[in-house]
Amino acid sequence: MRVCDTIAGLREARRPLRGPLGFVPTMGALHEGHASLVRRARQECASVAVSIFVNPTQFGPHEDFARYPRTPDVDLRLLESLGVDVVIIPDADEMYPAGHVARVTMSGYPARGLEAAARPGHFNGVATVVAKLFAIVAAQRAYFGQKDAQQLAVVRRMVTDLDIDVEVVGCPTVREPDGLAMSSRNRYLSPDERRSATVLYRGLCRAREAWHDGERSPGALRRAIVGELLLERVVRPEYAAIVHPDTFRIYRGRVDGPALAAVAARVGTTRLIDNASLD
Ligand code: AMP
C-alpha cells in the first residue's frame, strides 16, 4: 500500500494501477462503516484508493473541526489489511494552498434544508473537496455511505451538473448491534449518552412501522420519530423530516413518491444524524 501526503505523489502512485479504480473518500477515524465501503470497492474494482482528510471548509466556525478524532496510524493499518492500493492523506495546505479561491457552490436542492440549514456552507465545502479529490484521484467509481444520505444526494447532483466522469455508488449504513449507526463522532458519547443514542434508530423504526401500516401523512410519520426521541432525557431533536431521497425536498402533503426519513439530534453535546428508507 502506497501512502502519499502530496497530490503529485498520489498521481504518480496511481499511474501504474490497473483499472477500474474505486475511490473511498473519508475523514479518517475509520470504523466498520468505512471498511464496508472499502470492501465493496475491493470487490468491484481492480484497484482501490482511499483519502483521509478532515476537510476544514465543511466545518462551521463553532463545530468540532479542532477536536474531530484523528487516528492515522490505526486507520492506515486497517486500510492495509483491507488490501487498499493507495492512500492520500494530505494536510490542509496541500489541498488549499495560499491564494486558492475556486469553490463549488451548490445553490439549490438537494443542498437545501436539513443538514444544509443546520450547517450553513457545509455542502459547498463537501462539494469543493469531493470535486478536488475526484480530479486528483481520477477514479472510475466512488463509494459513499447512505448514512450521510443528503451528502450522497449532493455528490450525485454535483457529478451530474459538472459532468464529472465517475460512477457514484451508494452503500448501506452499517450499524452497531443495537442499531446505532456507526460514526466517528460516536466516540464523543459518554456511556449514558451512548445508551440513549440508539433512540435515533428506534425513532426511524417507529416511522417505518407506521409506513408499513399504511401511514402516508408526513406529519404523522415525523411525530412517530420525535415522540420516540423525546423519551430520552439527554436527547434534543434538531429535525425529523420525510424527504424525497434524490431531491431532499420535504414532503408536506401526502407522501406520494419515494421517501426517506431523516433525523438529527443532539445527544448531550454530540450532534448525530441518521436516516432510513421507508419504501
Ligand atoms: P466520513 O469519514 O464521516 O466523512 O465518512 C466517509 C464515508 O463513509 C462517507 O461516504 C460516509 O457516508 C461513509 N460512512 C460513515 N459512516 C458510515 C456507516 N455507518 N455506514 C456506511 N457508511 C458510512
Enter the DSSP assignment of 86: E
Closest listed residue to residue 23, CA positions, set 94, 65, 107, 79: 79
Pocket of ligand 1 (CB under 6 A): 26-27, 33-34, 36-37, 144-145, 147-148, 171, 173-174, 181-184
Question: Could you tell me the fold of the domain covering 184-277?
Answer: Pantoate--beta-alanine Ligase; Chain: A,domain 2 (3.30.1300)
Residue 24's φ and ψ, nearest 5 degrees, are: -125, 105
pLDDT at res. 278: 97
Q: How many Å apart are CA 221 and CA 68, to the nearest integer?
A: 33
User: Which part of the chain has CATH 3.40.50.620?
Assistant: 2-171
pLDDT at residue 259 greater than cutoff 90: yes
Ligand 1 pocket: which of 23, 24, 26 to mutate (most atoms within 8 A of CB): 26
Ligand 1 center–CA 215 separation, angstroms: 30
Residues, the chain? 279
pLDDT at res. 140: 98
pLDDT at residue 279 greater than cutoff 90: no
Ligand 1 center–CA 33 separation, angstroms: 6
pLDDT mean over 239-259: 97
| Ligand 1 atom at minimal distance to the Cα of residue 148 | 12
User: Which cell is 13 given?
Assistant: 502512485
pLDDT digits (tens, 9 = 90+) for 64-114: 999 999 999 999 999 999 999 999 999 999 999 999 999 999 999 999 999
pLDDT digits (tens, 9 = 90+) for 134-174: 999 999 999 999 999 999 999 999 999 999 999 999 999 99
Ligand 1 pocket: which of 148, 166, 178 to mutate (most atoms within 8 A of CB): 148
Closest listed residue to residue 26, CA positions, set 46, 44, 41: 41
**Closest Cα to atom 22, ligand 1: which residue?**
145
Please give the class, per CATH, of domain 2-171.
alpha beta
**Are residues 115 and 150 in contact, defined by beta-carbon separation less than 8 angstroms?**
yes
User: Which part of the chain has CATH 3.30.1300.10?
Assistant: 184-277
The β-bridge partners of 251 are none
| Ligand 1 atom at minimal distance to the Cα of residue 143 | 10
14-28 residues labelled b (16+ CB within 10 A) or e (exposed): beebeeebbbbbbbb
Residue pointed to by grid coordinates 450521510 = 148
pTM above 0.95, yes or no: yes
